[in-house]
Structure 1
């Protein structure tokens, strides 16, 4: 256990005021972090100066966002629109739309495209150099809940526990279609840094480690495990696992749950490396900095359970933790 908060951890100022949906570090810099939220804003923080440097109004809840580079941010949300913000000029461009809420927004460096996934059951690819209008649209088999970029492949988790694996070099057909190995709704998917597989989580306190190679020998290595569960008075409480983030250098990964805990796992050796102190509320999102020295932790009530009418949920907060090798390096 990494115990109580330490001097290695700060809480950012000027945090979102309602439901943090995502936190993501810039792809190339430890300095900048974005946060999207239900209060209808995308915020960009200068982590080194602990201040909100930019704030863009989306006019509706923002469900996801990503950096294209250090000066351009793409986002999507409940208003069905995909937007592009230019941090230098302050310009706000409406790139296009889906037919329902835009749930996922990611940059794909290997093909220099933005991908969005929507509750309309489609993913769309966008060219950031010509941002108005999607390059292509590809039907999934249900609402898109989560997706992960894996080199030139895309791993999509849909509402009916299906996992679709696409090859971005040939989007004419789905490369693989699988059932999730977890029995309950998929919450998050993230790809291994070595691009050989992915980790997915569910609402039922479980995480699965999967491999892309469909050969029987490789598939024998996949496994699932229980996590983010607590026992009180002999009763086991099971929490959704909302967030996953990989350490780029060590290939270990963090999970965050509605129990308010963050765990670091060594997937290759099937063991937990550490657990941080309990955060004020559910862990909604996690993001390692590009060099792996910091972990952004969004603590935000997710309305997974009903509060007493007289109880206010804890305020939304974003913590920046300077992680150590002892916490993240395989032993």
Structure 2
């Protein structure tokens, strides 16, 4: 791409819920409330729409699986699906009792986790279709999932966060699947590795894990981000902090507060991006506790973010929000931008 930023020419027709770059290429998946998932090749200006995968209801999340040809989806039809991106074939892996808010795939453990508004996780082994998915019961409704090579972070209502050991989830769910009755989802009695209460005072909207497996960032509806570390020692916990962001001054001189809708960590530098209802994307150095840069204002709320696997590109999904009282004004507001990052654009201040 010759320009620093390009807009995809064939965006979804309704609000975007999720975007994700492929692990090893510049293929980009986009999930939408228009009941479809879109696959783009973003190697050329404007992108190229490769395929559309229709669903029965709005799609709330999408992620790549084992390689660039496999994906998983969840949405308001309550089903968790596997997509063969080349053939277009769809396979239902499990069905929750309410909408599926999030799906994440662990390549380290060959494990797919879905989170539903029925307050459960489903643990799937996609490489072993004969194994029945297992259920983990949550204390409240999940809002966001993120994982590292070893841990799964579940952000929920009532400011609750559970951190699970992925190796334990993988082994326990595989063992339970072997003894499950046909058609039943076995319930795991697995305990979280850690239980935490969010240090943010209002509802968590997004959570994202650090690529170095050290901790996570979470964002709230009240324009704040918290940065925390997994290490339970007093020294490590003393490092956690929160800061205000995505606030814009009003003509009266009072800050208007916008929700933090999206967070994404850079896979190489460990810095992170935040996207807000104010239409801005900012890059942050979580270690140095400072903002690296803020990009120009987009025409609508930032709905989702994703860095490419090599960290050279940042995809930004824009969708109309209700922050400005413009419900129903969707014309031209749904779009996806892919920004090419300079060599040091996302590098933290303390990195050489």
SS at match of 2:345: helix
CA, structure 1 residues 325+243, in 2 after alignment: closer, same or farther (shift >3 Å)?
same
Match of 2:150 in 1: 152
Match of 1:116 in 2: 114
1:307 to 326, 337, 340: 326
1:26 to 11, 14, 22: 22
Give 1:160 shift.
Answer: 1.4
Q: Deviations over 1:9-53 (max 9, x none)?
A: 000021111110001000122x20000010000111011141110
1:64 and 2:57 are equivalent in the alignment:
no
Structure 1: gaps of 5 or more residues: 1-5
Task: State how 1:237-252 maps to structure 2 within 5 Å.
Answer: 237-252=256-271
Give 1:136 shift.
Answer: 1.3
2-structure distance, mates of 1:302, 1:312: 9
The question of whether the paired residues in 2 share the 8 Å contact of 1:95 and 1:132 is answered with no
Give 1:54 shift.
Answer: 1.1
Give 1:83 shift.
Answer: 1.0
Q: Deviations over 1:291-318 (max 9, x none)?
A: 0000000011133452278x55642000
SS at match of 2:167: coil
1-structure distance, mates of 2:330, 2:38: 24
SS at match of 1:71: strand
Match of 1:268 in 2: 287
1-structure distance, mates of 2:280, 2:130: 40
The question of whether the paired residues in 2 share the 8 Å contact of 1:94 and 1:132 is answered with no
1:41 and 2:46 are equivalent in the alignment:
no
Match of 1:320 in 2: 338
CA, structure 1 residues 108+225, in 2 after alignment: closer, same or farther (shift >3 Å)?
same
Give 1:169 shift.
Answer: 2.2
The question of whether the paired residues in 1 share the 8 Å contact of 2:320 and 2:330 is answered with no
2:239 to 216, 221, 228: 221
Match of 1:129 in 2: 127
The question of whether the paired residues in 1 share the 8 Å contact of 2:79 and 2:95 is answered with yes
Match of 1:3 in 2: none
1-structure distance, mates of 2:68, 2:103: 16
With normalisation by structure 2, the TM-score equals 0.89
Give 1:131 shift.
Answer: 4.0
1:78 to 76, 98, 113: 76
Which moved further from structure 2: 299-308 or 280-289?
299-308
2-structure distance, mates of 1:290, 1:44: 16
Alignment length (residue pairs): 324
Structure 2: gaps of 5 or more residues: 170-189
2-structure distance, mates of 1:246, 1:283: 16
1:173 and 2:191 are equivalent in the alignment:
yes
Q: Deviations over 1:186-210 (max 9, x none)?
A: 0011111111100000000000000
SS at match of 2:144: strand
